[in-house]
Structures are given as structure tokens and as C-alpha cells.
Amino acid sequence: MKKYLLSLAVGAALFTACDDEHKEIVNTPNQEIEVDMSDFYTYTYENEVGRVAADGKQCYSMRVLNRQLDENPGLHQKMYNIERNVRKFIASKKPDGVGGGNGNGGGGDDGGGGSDPVDDGLGVINIPVYVHVIYSNANENISDAQINSQINVLNADYNASNNDLNNIPAEFAGVVGNAQVNFTLAGVTRKASSRTSWGTRDEMKFASNGGVDVVTPESALNIWVCNIGGGILGYAQFPGGSASTDGVVISPQYFGTTGYVSAPFDKGRTATHEVGHYLNLRHIWGDGRCRQDDFVADTPSSDGPNYGCPAYPTVNCKSTDMTMNYMDYTDDACMYMFSEGQKARMRALFASGGARESIIL
């Protein structure tokens, strides 16, 4: 009986859950970490508008997530567990006295990443990339040069070495995040098809549908380049979804900076945005107006997306919008930063036990 009671005590010390407050406490060798999960959400209940130009072009990632949640009852819990691990890892790397919650988007110290750089011990992360080009005409069969131009943009944007970084206003200059993520082209697949548009139900990801099967999703990023149709720029799968559909889909005219590209989305930022979703970033406004957050403390709250090239400052929810963030819906030429908090969220996926740890093993 004593041994049984002792084991119960040890178990309680190692893990304590407080369901009524959605808080979890975990012991580490140096400190006890508490993370607040009360704000976590997966579904986007409001009518989502997309990243659009005058002709109605848009990002579809959140609608795809809603569909996947409907089709897979276990996905919500899986994403909850991924988010909990992300917050625990970030909290474990913060200085003593800094909270382990997600923050409220106002830039406070209790955020899921906050604004102060911390050493997460992961070093520079390299992600192999497989690009699958599915085309019905010569334009859609984009050149190697166009593919390479996109890889170059990803490397610049995820290492804060993009040449438009100096456009960031002083208000946000102190929270610019260098994610230290490199992308290496591992292979290109080309497949001719009579199909002129593919939609958003992942049919391009299966050879049985005339598409291309995913390649080693546990260790590489897959990008399908094909005409999605419906004015959609692209969409991504969040961590936690099926391995068979893991990756990013982008229409060819919004991929890269040269060749078959279409303004104002001709600077490769659609891929930067969608890969952000693949690495667990939400839209900067949280897809829920001022009431909902993107789980990042140093990105200000906003009541919705911004379009085009908005004037600075644009004020919503009593704060200045970070319209130049890659996870907003502005034109390619007017987005040029991730924040430190976003960097922390992305990199936490590669930590021990993280959803994308196997990419760097």
C-alpha cells in the first residue's frame, strides 16, 4: 500500500491537470512549467475571407482545416496535444518568471513566444523540399528557374535576409524573428494531366487520382504546384493531419518570382505564407476578429485581414496592425517579416517530441 501511495504521489508531481482552468503543470529538472490552453481552438466558425486581389484570389488553409476536422474526429485532440507541447517547449526556454501561456496578442511577456529571443538549442534547421509540378499546359509546367526562385525566397524570408526587411517600421523592428530555417530542393516531379483545375480536396496528392503521391512526409516538405482553380492562391495542411496529404499546394502563377507569375502575388510570398501554416502559424488576426488570437504574444490583435498595401499605421482592436507580417493577406511586395513569437512557435515543432521532429533527426 505504501508503494502504491508513493507512486500516486510521484505521478501527481510529474503531471497535474486543472480542467476547469485548462492549465497543465509539468515538472522539468529546473522548474515547474504551467501552460494555459483555455484559448485553444481549431475550427474557424466565422465566414473566412481569403487573401484576395481584385480578381478574388485567396488562401484556403483554414477552410481546408475545417473540412479535415469534420472528416477526422480525432484531429482536434491531436492538434491540441501538438499545441500543448509547443507551449511547454517555449515556456521551458524562457527566463525564470516569464509565463508559459500564449498571451493575448498584445505583446506581453506571457505570450507563446513573446518578443525576447531565446536559445532553443535547435540550431539551424534544414528542410528538404520535394516539388511536384502537375500541368495541363506549357505555362503550368513551370521552369526549374522558377522553382529555384521560390526556394531562394523561402530561404531569405525564413532567415530574415530578405532585401525588403528595412521597410519594417520602427514600432516592430525590435520583434523581427529570424527563424533560422533553410530549405533545400530535394527533387522535382513533373506530371502532365488533362485536368485543368484541382480544387482543395487534396486530389492532386494521389497518383490514383492523376496526381503525385507524397514523398517521405516524415522527413521532407512536399509542395504540389498545380492550378487549384476558384481564384485560390494556395493552401497548407497544419501539423497533425494525415501523412498522406501533408504539405502545401500552390497555383503555378503564384509560385516563385520569375517565369509564369502573376502580380501582385509574384514575389514568392504565397509559399512563405503557406509554409508558415505548415509550420503551425495561424493568420495574424486569429481568424476570429478581436476575440480570437493567433497564439503569439508579439503580434498585435486585429479584427481581420489586411489587403493590398495598407497605409501605416493601420489601427484595429486598439493596436497597430502588423500588416507587413507574412501571415496577413497583404500583397507580396508589402509583407516582409515574421515575429520572434512566430519564430518560437515554428521552431518548437522540431524539438524532441515535436510534430516535425523527424525532419531533423
Q: What is the DSSP pairing of strand 248-250 with strand 221-225?
A: parallel
Beta carbons within 10 angstroms of residue 6's beta carbon:
10
From first CA to last CA, the distance across the chain in angstroms is 43
Among the listed residues 34, 48, 140, 274, the single catalytic one is 274
Q: Whole-angstrom Cα distance, residue 36 to residue 34? A: 7
Burial class (CB in 10 A: 0-12, 13-18, 19+), 183: buried
131: helix, strand or coil? strand
Beta carbons within 10 angstroms of residue 111's beta carbon:
30
Element (H, E) at 182: strand 181-192
Q: What is the largest CA-CA distance in the chain?
A: 75
Q: Whole-angstrom Cα distance, residue 206 to residue 114? A: 39
Contact 133, 124 (CB under 8 A): no
Beta carbons within 10 angstroms of residue 67's beta carbon:
14
Hey, which residues does 127 pair with through a beta bridge?
Answer: 183
Please identify which residue in the block is written with the cell numbers 499605421: 313
Type of residue numbered 122: L
Please identify which residue in the block is written with the cell numbers 477526422: 72
Contact 223, 151 (CB under 8 A): no
274 catalytic per annotation: yes
Buried residues in 74-92 as b, exposed as e (16+ CB within 10 A): ebeeebeebbebbbbbbbb
In degrees, to the nearest 5, what angle opens at C-alpha 82 toward C-alphas 132 and 242?
A: 35
Q: Which residues are catalytic?
A: 274
